[in-house]
Structures are given as C-alpha cells and as structure tokens.
A and B are shown apart, each in its own frame.
Chain A
Amino acid sequence: MDTSAIPQNPPPAAPAAPSEVSGKAVRPGDRIFLGLSRGSGIALLVIMAAIAAFLTYRSVLAIQGDKANFFTTFEWDPSGAEPKFGIAVLAFGTVVSSIIAMIIAVPVAVGIALFISHYAPRKLAAPLGYVIDLLAAVPSIIYGLWGALFLVPHLTGLYSWLDSYLGWTGIFSYSQGAARSLFTVGILLAIMILPIVTSVSREVFLQVPKMHEEAALALGATRWEVIRMSVLPFGRSGIISASMLGLGRALGETMAVATVLSPSFLIGLSLLDPGGGTFAQNIASKFSEADTFGQDALIASGLVLFVITLLVNGAARLIIARRKEYSGANA
C-alpha cells in the first residue's frame, strides 16, 4: 500500500473557518418536521391518557354503585332499584369463544401460509394470497349474517353427532335447538381471524433466509423436514404475533357475535347449547338502551376486556422474548 498519501501529521481541525460547519443554521423544514413529529407523539400520549382516565373514572362510578360482586355475579341489571351486575359470564364467554377460535384457526392458518409460501406453484400462490387478504376485508356484520343464516342451521347436525359420541364429557352435550352457542361463535371467529393470521404467517415464512433452508436441504431433508427444521423455528415468533393479532380481533369482535349468539347470563358446562355472552356483544346489545349508570356499568366491563387484551399481548411478548437467544433474528 502506498503510505506516502497519508499525511504524517494531520492538519489541525480548522477552527479558523467556522462558517461552514459550526453555528446553528436554522432550517425551516427541519423545525417543522420536528414540531410535527414531536406534536403527534405527545398527542398520542395525551389521547391515550384521556381515554384511560375516562374509562377508569366511569368504571369506578359503576363498580361503587354495584350492589353485587362485579367479578363473580351472573347477572346484568344495572338499572334496577338495587343495581346488580357482574362480568363473570362475559369473561367466560369471551375467553372461551376466543380460545375455540384460536384452536381452530391457528393450525389451519399456518397450514395455508405454508402451502402458499412453500408448496403452491407460484402461479397459484399469488392469487391464493389475494383471496385470503380479501377475506379480511369482508365487514364483520356480513360474517354475522352468514353465521346466523347459514352456519347456525347447518351446525345442528354436527352438534348432534358430537353429542352422541362426546356428550358424556358435558362440554359437548347438546340439547336440540338453534346452534346459537359459544362454540358456533368460536367457529365463526375462527373464520374471521383466519386471513390475518394467514397473511402475517405467510410474510414471515417468506422471509426465512434461503441459507437456512438450503442447510436443511443439503443434509438430505425432505420438504416437510426443511419446514420443520428451518421454516417453523424461524417463523415461531411470527406465528405467535400473528395469533395474538387474531386473538385481539376475536376478543373484541362485536357485530358477528351479537348476530349469532343467543345471549344469556348463565355459564353452562356445554359449549354447544345456546347461551353465554361476550364483553363486546353485551356492550353492543345493551348500550343504546342503557341509562347513564347502565353505560358506566358497560364501560367498566369494557375496561376489563381492555385489561385482558393487554395481558394476552404481554404474555405473547414474554413467550417471544424467552427464547430470543435461539431465534432466527440473531443469525
């Protein structure tokens, strides 16, 4: 290397000419952008705080006026002379229907995503992806109508069959009637969250580094083994995030549930029999007729839903963080 080009003593940093680099040049564009971005950041925090304060304030009012235990009561009567209401049934219905939706939707979604990303010929993969994304654009009331008018009458057969083989468990016992049950809601929610879980998982599977897949291929892995050894481990945290997005939607879904479910304030052992309720469905069906205190009660239940969603997301983050060392991200 030619070292003569490198000066032995670097010239002193030029303090003599401050005009070019020192001094604070005021660039209007920078200031406007700084103001805008800082302003939006602050506005977001203020709005969040305002919402939280509002919800908490009205909820506290409601819970103070509740003559029964807010968490364990199987009743929703905030406008009586002795207001009694509790979220037990709503919490149960929300969580159970969402879990059913996850159990059905996540494996199917991962399967579809793998098919699109690794099995389908490219000519088929792209249109299939569009169709899946399109499903996410269908308004939830449409799903609700379809659920109520198509799914409910067509599920009675399946439920009778489940009852005759698994009815002894209690969970799958079914006394004849319209299948407007938590299980039906779960199935409908599964269909509704399928697109989001599928498309997020697909994106993650497509990002698996080629070199990880080739590592498995070169060892003599079959297509499924490549998926098991490199695609699924890499996509694991992505699948969890996708599921949480889906779960968030399932927990908060309102119209479709309200259209399909025949609500009652009871917790039955059977998931197939009609009855139960969810937070969002309960708020939607009662809010318009509620007096101020009734609204407070509904807001209190909404706050609980909010907390549940936060907890679920926190748990998901913990799961992802726990095995970070092994994640594909640091490869």
Chain B
Amino acid sequence: MAKRIDVSGLSAFYGSHKAIDDISMTVEPRSVTAFIGPSGCGKSTFLRTLNRMHEVTPGGRVEGKVLLDDENLYASGVDPVAVRRTVGMVFQRPNPFPTMSIFDNVAAGLRLNGDVKKKSELNDVVEKSLKGANLWNEVKDRLNKPGSGLSGGQQQRLCIARAIAVEPQVLLMDEPCSALDPISTLAIEDLIGELKERFTIVIVTHNMQQAARVSDRTAFFNLAAVGEPGKLVEIDETERIFSNPSVQDTEDYISGRFG
C-alpha cells in the first residue's frame, strides 16, 4: 500500500508569482521524508503539489512531473479528485468536520469513495483506523459524539484516522504538530513511526528535532530572498543532513546560524 514518489522539474505558481522553482526528488516508499526550511521557502506549497491541492488555491498552477510509481499525477486526463483519494493529507490545524460525529468523520472518506459499505464493514474500518491512529481507546465509548469536542491532539489523531481509513498510498502531513502541546506531539510522532510500516509519509515541519526524530530522509528548502522562488537545497539521509550536510546553507540553518 505504499508507492514511490518521483518528482522532476516541478515549479509551482500563485498567479504570476513563482513560489517554488524546478524541484526534483525521490521519496522512497515506506519511509518518512521530512521537509525543513525557513518560512516562505515553499515547502508547504511543494507538499500540496503532491496531491494536487495547490491548484485549489485561486491562481495556483503547477509545471513539471510528479510520478507516483509510474503514473504522472499531472498527466492530462488524470482526475485530481482521484489523486487526492490516493494521496491523503493531514493539515496544520486539526480540521475534523465539525458537524459530524467521531464515527462519521472517520467514515467520511469511505462514504465519498462511492462503494457504499455495509454497516458492519464500515464499523470494522472505523475501528481499525482509529486503532491505527492510537485513538480507539479514548473514543470508543463516544463514537457518536461530535469530533470537535475532542482535545487538539485527539482531533489531529482523528484527522489521521480519517486520512488512513481510505488506505491511501501516500500520507502528506503539513506541520501536523505545530498546533499541539508536547505530549500530543509525542503521540503523533510515535504514530508516524508506526504508520511508515504501511504508508509513504512526507512531513513538513518547522521543528528540526522533530525532523531528526521521525524521518529517514530530510529535504532542506531555502529561498534566495523574500519574493524569490523557493528551491530544494539538498535531500539526504536524515542522519547525514544533521551531522554532515553537503551544502553550507543547510549546516547554517540547522545550527541556527541562519536568518
């Protein structure tokens, strides 16, 4: 259930402004790849090009190729809706559907995908997904309560359960812990470690310790100046990036000697 991502020559635009320039990289299946870099360097924008969410923004436009195994997500005739069903996403702020119960939140994606499942089957998937997100024990007695009543960390795990319920190939996480307290953050980080057995995970983070803790490979993004497009500086094994990066800028950023 995990696929390799091959990006080549990818640039993204907001209207006429180029946000990221000519990025190429490979993301290995069943691994965690972290994107780090200063604010505005385009790492979130890049993440959103991987499930075609970038073009949802007014003026959003993408050039280049993203291959999921061998299929180009930006080939003509590819339905962005289908792409997003294969590449799941977790956002910066927990965003469970406020009008839905916990159960319905997890089941939402399954119901969308059209194959109307039997109630028992749906129950199984919801339970499995909530267990997969380490949330089952906390919510099993109140599945019919609204998801917005949970704590922030629980809501974020609910969103992860919702994303993995549809068995995506890839899971994108856009600063998933930046709105959470340290204990909830730890819970999510542990969860990421478990999820990488099943999914290809890409995580954007501002927290370099987090990148060092959870990821196998790390990509460092940077921009020449404000208003300039962001670029990929380097991508390598996380250990190497944090101990002996090949580019001076990376070392400066990681050691805090930067901007």
Contacts and interface: CB of A to CB of B under 8 A. Distances in A.
Given A215-B159, A218-B89, A229 B97 contact: yes
Given A327-B98, A328-B99, A218 B81 contact: no
A219 interface: yes
Given A214-B56, A214-B91, A326-B146, A219 B98 contact: no
* Chain B: number of interface residues, binned into ranges: 20 to 34
B109 A219 contact: yes
Contact of A328 (B84, B98, B149, B159): B98
A298 to B, nearest CB: 45
A233 interface: yes
A29 interface: no
A229 B107 CA distance: 12
Interface string A306-331: 00000000000000000101111011
A225 B112 contact: yes
A38 interface: no
Nearest to B85: A220
Contacts of A234: 98-99
Interface in B193-249: none
Contact of A220 (B96, B109, B146): B109
A220 B56 CA distance: 12
A211 interface: yes
A122 interface: yes
B98 A218 contact: no
A234 B91 CA distance: 19
Given A122-B58, A225-B112, A326-B98, A218 B146 contact: no
B108 A219 contact: yes
A330 B147 CA distance: 11
A129 B112 CA distance: 31
A175 B61 CA distance: 61
A140 to B, nearest CB: 37
A214 B159 CA distance: 12
Contacts of B99: 233-234, 236, 323, 326-328
A331 B81 contact: no
Contact of B95 (A214, A326, A327): A214
Contacts of A229: 97, 100, 108, 112
Given A220-B113, A222-B81, A233 B98 contact: yes
B25 interface: no
A323 B98 CA distance: 11
A211 B95 contact: yes
Interface string B148-188: 11000000000100110010000000000000000000000
Residue among B56, B85, B109, B112 with the highest chain A CB neighbour number at 10 A:
B112
Contact of B148 (A122, A211, A217, A331): A331
A209 B148 CA distance: 14
Contacts of B81: 220-222
A325 B89 CA distance: 26
A214 B86 CA distance: 15
A215 B95 contact: yes
Contacts of B45: none
A220 B84 contact: yes
A270 to B, nearest CB: 41
Contacts of A230: 97
A249 interface: no
A330 B88 CA distance: 26
A312 B53 CA distance: 43
B75 interface: no
A180 B152 CA distance: 59
A211 B84 contact: no
Interface in A213-264: 214-222, 225, 229-230, 233-234, 236
Contacts of B93: 211
Interface of A: 122, 209, 211-212, 214-222, 225, 229-230, 233-234, 236, 323, 325-328, 330-331
Given A211-B93, A216-B97, A233-B99, 14 more contacts: A214-B56, A214-B91, A215-B91, A215-B159, A218-B88, A219-B85, A219-B162, A220-B83, A221-B81, A234-B99, A326-B98, A327-B98, A328-B99, A331-B98
11 contacts: A215-B91, A217-B84, A218-B53, A218-B89, A219-B84, A219-B162, A219-B166, A220-B84, A233-B98, A331-B95, A331-B148
